[in-house]
């Protein structure tokens, strides 16, 4: 169903088409660095770069917007360098829209290295152990200095599992912090001449009443867009989509909807069905560096011996540079020998695939056939089992290993 184009609020936002059988929709919003058409996937550029790829290659993959990480960029290279470099867009030579997170998620993952009060969070750098403070106001100022087109309000991301009492107290604090974020954001002037926007973040752990309360409170603050945070942090996937089905219909229809940290191709498709417009995740880039490719027929794990003599491209239907020129056998050879070119080719394919999937979803919504397209997608794409318990353990192991390595590095430097 096609809708008339209207703009709403500070951000020029329009709903272009809706699916008659679900909440799926095609929208468009404008920034001074360009227009974004949704649904869209945002590759993660943690340190101001999507690992192994150049801006030109991202452009070739039809990437419309990328994500930068406030915590990491604040610590390294630091605001002084980025400001002197003309802001993150100019510093990184990315001339399209950019979103930055608030830094809160990373700080809370390092909670044992810091202290939280009502006013702020004091934490120690995972790099050198130096002490820093982050608050709603400081987060706004950092993101303002980075110059992102879309900034995120400062919130607390509760872990999983999380009891109701703590989730409720955390949510009240998050609402106070997001109000402070909004008030300070409204006082700031753009550093580099382009307009910046601010999204609020809905929290509430796995409790639907807390989530509904969060939507109500944040809607009254009139953010430029609304993100759903605190999901895909270890809870069963069925629970995540159950919550999404109750949260998404409550979000303002005239603002972008963003599901943070999601996800796998099948999760993105189901998120689109629930009315989500924006997604981000490290999976396509991280898994590419670990030798895993995503295709229309599922995943390819290159280290498996079955690909040693497989001279077909990773995906016969894919038109990316990797699939046009190289075989699975060659990519396996590069991966098994630790060749940097292999990591680049894998990443190039995965980013291209994620953007192609979401582009096809957009086309299907516009044509009024999203439900049928979704059925066809899942007919050929095998959904991975939800090993949420094992994944939670592995996530904690990776975190502890990372912290131990940094502790040893700091001790070695003293």
Q: Which residues of 109-131 are buried (b: 16+ CB within 10 A; e: fewer)?
A: bbeebbeeeeebbbbbbbeeeee
CA distances from 313 to 289, 307, 346 (A): 18, 11, 12
- Residues 3-7 have a mean pLDDT of 40
* pLDDT tens track for 134-188: 999 999 999 999 999 999 999 999 989 999 999 999 999 999 999 999 999 999 9
CA distances from 374 to 45, 270, 307, 369 (A): 29, 9, 29, 9
**Contact (Cβ atoms closer than 8 angstroms) between residue 353 and residue 284:** yes
The beta-carbon contacts of 4-11 under 8 Å, at least 24 apart in sequence, are: 6/254, 8/254, 8/255, 9/222, 9/224, 9/254, 9/255, 10/195, 10/197, 10/224, 11/197, 11/224, 11/225, 11/255, 11/256
pLDDT at 363 over 90: yes
pLDDT score of 116: 86
Token pair, residue 275, equals: 């009315």
For 374, list phi and psi in degrees, rounded to 5: -60, -40
Token pair, residue 273, equals: 């069905």
CA atoms within 13 A on the CB side of 371: 7
Token pair, residue 184, equals: 């300070």
Place of tokens 């709603």: 136
| Consecutive H or E run containing 66 | strand 66-68
Place of tokens 């360098």: 81
pLDDT at 397 over 60: yes
Place of tokens 């919550």: 243
Least confident range of 68-82, 97-111, 279-293, 349-363: 97-111
3-state class of 317 per DSSP? Answer: coil
pLDDT at 333 over 60: yes
Task: Give the sign of the dihedral formed by CA 52, CA 308, CA 352, CA 374.
Answer: negative
pLDDT at 391 over 70: no
Task: Give the sign of the dihedral formed by CA 287, CA 289, CA 292, CA 294.
Answer: positive
Q: How far apart are CA 259 and CA 277, in angstroms?
A: 8
Least confident range of 41-50, 64-73, 337-346, 392-401: 392-401
Angle at 283 between CA 279 and CA 284, to 5 degrees: 90
Catalytic-labelled residue, pool 101, 149, 224, 267:
101
**Please, what is the average pLDDT of the chain?**
92
Order the strands of the 25-31 sheet from edge to edge.
13-18, 25-31, 34-38
pLDDT at 339 over 50: yes
pLDDT at 323 over 80: yes
- Residues 21-29 have a mean pLDDT of 98
User: Which band of pLDDT confidence, cut at 50, 70 and 90, is reported for residue 405?
Assistant: low
pTM (predicted TM-score): 0.92
Angle at 13 between CA 11 and CA 15, to 5 degrees: 165
Our answer to whether residue 149 is catalytic in this structure is: no
Q: How far apart are CA 126 and CA 404, in angstroms?
A: 10
pLDDT score of 125: 86
- Residues 259-281 have a mean pLDDT of 97
pLDDT at 77 over 60: yes
- Whether residue 39 has a cis bond before it, omega within 30° of 0: yes
Find the farthest-apart pair of alpha carbons in the chain and give their distance in angstroms, rounded: 64
Going by C-beta distance under 8 Å and a sequence separation of 6 or more, which residues neighbour residue 108?
A: 121, 156, 157, 159
pLDDT score of 8: 37
**Contact (Cβ atoms closer than 8 angstroms) between residue 328 and residue 322:** no
* pLDDT tens track for 204-253: 999 999 999 999 999 999 999 999 999 999 999 999 999 999 999 999 99
pLDDT score of 408: 60
- Residues 67-90 have a mean pLDDT of 97
Crossing angle for the helix pair 265-273 and 340-366, to the nearest 10 degrees: 20
Our answer to whether residue 310 is catalytic in this structure is: no
Going by C-beta distance under 8 Å and a sequence separation of 6 or more, which residues neighbour residue 282?
A: 44, 46
Place of tokens 């989730």: 167
- Residues 92-112 have a mean pLDDT of 87
Question: What percent of the chain lies above the pLDDT cut of 90?
Answer: 83
Catalytic-labelled residue, pool 224, 267, 280, 315:
280
User: Which band of pLDDT confidence, cut at 50, 70 and 90, is reported for residue 401?
Assistant: low
How does DSSP assign 182-205, residue by residue?
Answer: HHHHHH---SSSS--EEEEEE--T
DSSP letter at 274 equals T
Pairing of strands 98-100, 66-68: parallel
Task: Give the N- to C-terminal CA distance of the chain in Å, as an integer.
Answer: 64
Beta strand segments in 112-261, E: 115-116, 121-124, 131-134, 150-152, 197-202, 225-228, 257-259
């Amino acid at each position: 169903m096609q809708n008339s184009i209207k703009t709403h609020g500070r951000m020029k936002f329009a709903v272009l088409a809706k699916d008659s059988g679900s909440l799926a929709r095609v929208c468009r919003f404008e920034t001074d660095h360009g227009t974004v058409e949704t649904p869209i996937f945002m590759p993660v550029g943690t340190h101001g770069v999507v690992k192994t790829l150049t801006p030109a290659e991202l452009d070739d993959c039809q990437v419309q917007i990328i994500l930068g990480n406030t915590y990491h960029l604040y610590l390294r290279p630091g605001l002084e360098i980025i400001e002197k470099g003309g802001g993150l867009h100019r510093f990184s030579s990315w001339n399209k829209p950019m979103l930055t997170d608030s830094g809160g998620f990373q700080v809370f993952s390092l909670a044992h290295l810091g202290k939280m009060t009502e006013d702020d969070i004091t934490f120690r750098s995972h790099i050198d152990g130096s002490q820093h403070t982050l608050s709603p106001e400081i987060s706004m100022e950092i993101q303002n200095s980075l110059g992102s087109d879309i900034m995120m309000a400062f919130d607390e991301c509760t872990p999983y599992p999380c009891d109701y009492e703590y989730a409720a107290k955390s949510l009240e604090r998050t609402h106070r912090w997001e109000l402070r974020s909004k008030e300070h954001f409204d006082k700031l002037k753009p550093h580099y001449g382009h307009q910046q926007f601010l999204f609020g973040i809905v929290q509430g752990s796995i409790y639907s009443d807390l989530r509904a309360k969060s939507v109500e409170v944040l809607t009254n603050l009139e953010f430029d867009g609304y993100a759903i945070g605190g999901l895909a942090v270890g809870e069963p996937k069925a629970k995540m989509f159950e919550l999404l089905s109750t949260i998404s219909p409550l979000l303002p229809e005239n603002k972008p909807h963003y599901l943070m940290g999601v996800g796998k191709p099948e999760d993105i498709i189901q998120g689109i069905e629930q009315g989500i417009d924006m997604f981000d995740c490290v999976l396509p880039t991280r898994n590419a560096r670990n030798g895993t490719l995503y295709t229309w027929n599922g995943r390819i794990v290159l280290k498996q011996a079955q690909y040693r003599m497989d001279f077909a491209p990773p995906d016969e239907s894919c038109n990316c540079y990797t699939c046009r020129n190289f075989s699975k056998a060659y990519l396996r050879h590069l991966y098994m020998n630790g060749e940097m070119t292999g990591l680049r080719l894998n990443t190039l394919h995965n980013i291209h695939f994620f953007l192609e999937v979401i582009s096809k979803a957009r086309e299907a919504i516009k044509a009024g056939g999203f439900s049928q397209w979704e059925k066809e997608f899942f007919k050929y794409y095998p959904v991975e089992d939800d090993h949420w318990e094992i994944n939670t353990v592995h996530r904690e192991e990776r975190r502890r290993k990372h912290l131990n390595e940094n502790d040893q590095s700091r001790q070695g430097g003293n």
